[in-house]
Amino acid sequence: MTESSTARQNERALEEGIHTDLREKMTYGSYLQLDRLLSAQEPVSDPEHHDELLFIIQHQTTELWLKLVVHELLAARDLIVADQLQPALKRIARVKHIQRTLTEQWSVLATLTPSEYAEFRDSLGSSSGFQSWQYRAVEFLLGNKNSRMLTVFETEPESHRQLAELLEQPSIYDEFIRHLARQGHPVPQELLERDVRRAHTSHEGLVEVFRAVYENPEEHWLVYESCEELVDLEENFQLWRYRHMRTVLRIIGTKQGTGGSSGVGFLQKALDLTFFPELFAVRTEIGR
Ligand code: HEM
Ligand SMILES: N[C@@H](CC(=O)c1ccccc1NC=O)C(=O)O
């Protein structure tokens, strides 16, 4: 028989070299523990609602990406502590791409209509994204510290422990400011000795440090570039918050949240928060 008579139309032939006997071998499924991963989607609605799977997967994929964001931000912070800004920027660049993916992902959930969601919302009880410890970990790492956020994790000791640890530790911004001081920038002493368990608030002295950097970028190129990367991180974070708030608005209007908050009004207030206030304040000063 000729090759052409055995070849099946519009089907790719397996190449000789492709491993087909995978007994005792590491496989795709075993390496990625797909049996565990894919058995972790258990809708609670009864009878099961078709759209609850979308809801679960949207959250689970977000949590997986948040796991990587935490991992990269911890690495970036360690590198800043070691005065290695360039490799830290590499970690931050990755985080920025993940943030874009997460923001874009809201469009998938936006296909859930208010009517569909209302059919299984009651099954969610008092569970809420407000109880995402990884989300809170990212906020803490970027400097939005708030010890009151820990209270909802008292029934989850391991999450509580990790968040309490991050609350006590300096944020990426705290470490960046310390790095600037080590490089000889005139950073106000107050900022170097601040209580890192509290949210950072804007300091005029730090705006002046950044003014010097932004007025002479060539002399401070790496710091200048790092400042702009931090601005991107904050901007991306705000875009995620905004898309969340708008998605919530289109799905539940201004109903109260399952977490007990006022809902959209509460989410809107988060848009007034800022991680790196001086990096925005300095923009007003440039060219004056
Ligand atoms: C139908 C979709 C969703 C609705 C209606 C919704 C609604 C809400 C509401 C009302 C809150 C305020 C807290 C409360 O009272 O519950 C909240 C908080 C939160 N949600 Fe969602 N959400 C949705 C999807 C998501 C998804 C997919 C994520 C991704 C993990 C998420 C993550 C969060 C986080 C992290 C908070 C805390 C925000 C903060 O503290 O500022 N939500 N959500
Ligand atoms: N807070 C949402 C419920 C919700 O979205 C949710 C429920 C359980 C687990 C994660 C959730 N996502 C974000 O808040 C609501 O009020 O409908």
User: What pLDDT does residue 268 have?
Assistant: 98
Alpha helix segments (H runs only) across the chain: 3-6, 28-31, 34-37, 52-81, 85-104, 106-109, 114-120, 133-142, 157-168, 172-182, 189-192, 204-215, 221-252, 264-270, 277-285
Nearest CA to ligand 2 atom 7: 128
Radius of gyration of the chain, Cα coordinates, nearest whole angstrom = 24
Ligand 2 mutation target, pool 61, 115, 128, 241, most atoms within 8 A of CB: 128
Q: Give the pLDDT mean for 18-37.
A: 97
Residue 126, ligand 2, Cβ within 6 A: no
Q: Does residue 245 have a pLDDT over 80? A: yes
Nearest CA to ligand 1 atom 26: 59
pLDDT tens string 108-160: 999 999 999 999 999 999 999 999 999 999 999 999 999 999 999 999 999 99
User: Over pLDDT 70: what percentage of the chain?
Assistant: 98
| This prediction's pTM | 0.96
ipTM above 0.95, yes or no: yes
Residue 257, ligand 2, Cβ within 6 A: yes
Instruction: Please give the distance, rounded to the nearest whole angstrom, from the Cα atom of residue 129 to the centre of ligand 2.
Output: 5
Q: Which domains, from first to last, does the chain contain?
A: 47-284 (1.20.58.480)
Kindly give the number of the ligand 1 atom that is closest to the alpha carbon of 270.
41
3-state secondary structure of 72: helix
Nearest CA to ligand 1 atom 19: 129
d(CA 263, CA 253): 9
